[in-house]
Amino acid sequence: MPRYRLDIEYDGTLYAGWQRQADLPSVQQAIEDAIFRFTAQRVTIRGAGRTDAGVHATGQVAHVDLDREWAEDKLMGALNAHLKLAADAIAVLAVRAVGEEFDARFSATARHYLFRILNRRAPAALDRNRAWHVPKALDAAAMHEAAQTLLGKHDFTTFRSVQCQANSPIRTLDKLDVTRNGHIIEIRASARSFLHNQVRSMVGTLKRTGEGAWSAADVRAALDAADRSRCGQVAPPDGLFLIRVDYPA
C-alpha cells in the first residue's frame, strides 16, 4: 500500500487534542474523516506528536497508508477541500509519497515546540487562544538563565504529568531558550521526545523565576528532586505550538 507523509497545521482550540477520542472532536479524527469522504477508505493516520487539548501546530507530521496511488497535489487539494467543507481548523501544508520504512512518530529525530506568553496588563485580543496572558511583568533574561539549568539528560519526573504513560522519565533536553519581542515572550524547546505536559510544566516553573519568586538554583533543585509536587504552575495549552519535527535526511 502506498504511504504518504502529511505536513499539517491546526488551531487546537476546538479539539480535544490530536488523538482520536470516543465522543470528542480530535484532529486525527477530522483528517481521517476527510480521507474517507473522498476515498471511501477508513484509515488510521499516525502523528509525530500527540498534542493535548487546546495545543496548536504549525509543523505536525503524520503518515497514512492508502489502497491506491494518488498524485501528491491532488491528495493535498482533496484533503483541504473536505476539511474546509467540514469547517475544521486544519490545513494540510504538504503531501509527499514516502517509503514504508517512514514512520511519522518513530522515525523522528527531534521535536520542536514554541510557547508564547503575552506579557502586558491589557488582555489578548488578536492573540486570544494563541498565548498565555500574564499581566505581571516578567524578566525574560532570568527565565532564560534558569532554563539553561534544565538542559541535558535528566530524570524529568518533576515536569511530568501524573497521567504520563511513558516507560521512563529520563529525557534529553537539547534546547530551552527564552527571548522577548515587545510584549511577547517566546520559549523554544527541542528534544528527541518529551514527556506528557513536560513543556507546559517547565514554562510554568520558569514563570516563577520571571516573577522573581524563584532563582535559577531553585529551578535546578526542583528538577533534581524528581518530585512532581516541586513543579510550578502548569502553563495552559493556549500558548503551545508544535512547530517542527525532524527526520533523517
pLDDT in tens, 76-94: 999 999 999 999 999 999 9
pLDDT of residue 53: 96
Ordered domains of the chain (ranges, CATH): 3-98 (3.30.70.580), 110-246 (3.30.70.660)
What is the chain's mean pLDDT, rounded? 97
pLDDT in tens, 124-165: 999 999 999 999 999 999 999 999 999 999 999 999 998 888
Residues labelled catalytic: 52
pLDDT in tens, 191-233: 999 999 999 999 999 999 999 999 999 999 999 999 999 999 9
Compute the distance between CA of residue 145 and CA of residue 155 in angstroms, rounded to an integer: 20
- Residue 10 makes CB contacts below 8 A (sequence gap 6+) with 27, 56, 57, 60, 88, 89, 90, 91
Q: What's this model's pTM, rounded to 2 decimal places? A: 0.96
pLDDT of residue 217: 98
Determine the residue type at 174: D
Phi, psi of 11 (to 5 degrees): -95, 115
